[in-house]
Amino acid sequence: MENNAAQATTHYMAQGFISGQVWLDQDRDGQRDADEPAVESGWDGVRLLLFLEEGMTDPAWDTPRTYLGGHGGYIQRLAPGRYFVRVTVSPALDFTTPNTGDEATDSDVVLTVRTIDDMTAESAVVEVTDGHHTVIDIGLVPATS
């Protein structure tokens, strides 16, 4: 170091985000209302929330996954690419009607697998781009017998 001068390099890693809200659609109208409660991670709520690359059928060891934060919210940083969200929930829950009404407050996942042990739904494939934020909300209803 001469004259108190230093050099350094940085490496920029491109990233975008997928985030959303998970809520209990008490009136079963497919829309998130202000008074409807959040659903949290747990055995009786959201069991698994994965972010899979387009074309994947099963998660890999390094597939991004997240847990719900306070108030049913989640956010996941991802490298630019094409992804879809896969969510697995307790069998005490089911998925509300997707893509109904206002895009800002509707559910964006469709039921794909129903078993005795849990329910799984997936979103459409979305493009994650550097510096941009994509929202995928998940509406749930109590399961009916």
Mean pLDDT by 10 residues, the chain (145 residues): 74 89 95 94 94 95 90 94 96 94 93 92 96 96 85
pLDDT of residue 70: 75
Query: Does residue 54 lie within any of the structural domains?
Result: yes
Which ranges in 46-145 belong to alpha helices (H)?
none
Into how many domains does the chain fold?
1
Query: Does residue 3 lie within any of the structural domains?
Result: no
pLDDT of residue 1: 54
Query: Does residue 136 lie within any of the structural domains?
Result: yes
Query: Does residue 9 lie within any of the structural domains?
Result: no
pLDDT of residue 14: 83
pLDDT of residue 131: 92
Q: What is the residue type of 93?
A: L
Query: Does residue 122 lie within any of the structural domains?
Result: yes
Query: Does residue 21 lie within any of the structural domains?
Result: yes
What residues make up the domain containing 79?
16-142
User: What whole-number distance in Å separates Cα of residue 133 and Cα of residue 19?
Assistant: 7
Predicted structure pTM score: 0.88
Query: Does residue 69 lie within any of the structural domains?
Result: yes
Q: What is the CATH number for 85?
A: 2.60.40.10
Query: Does residue 10 lie within any of the structural domains?
Result: no
Q: Are 93 and 119 in contact (CB under 8 A)?
A: yes
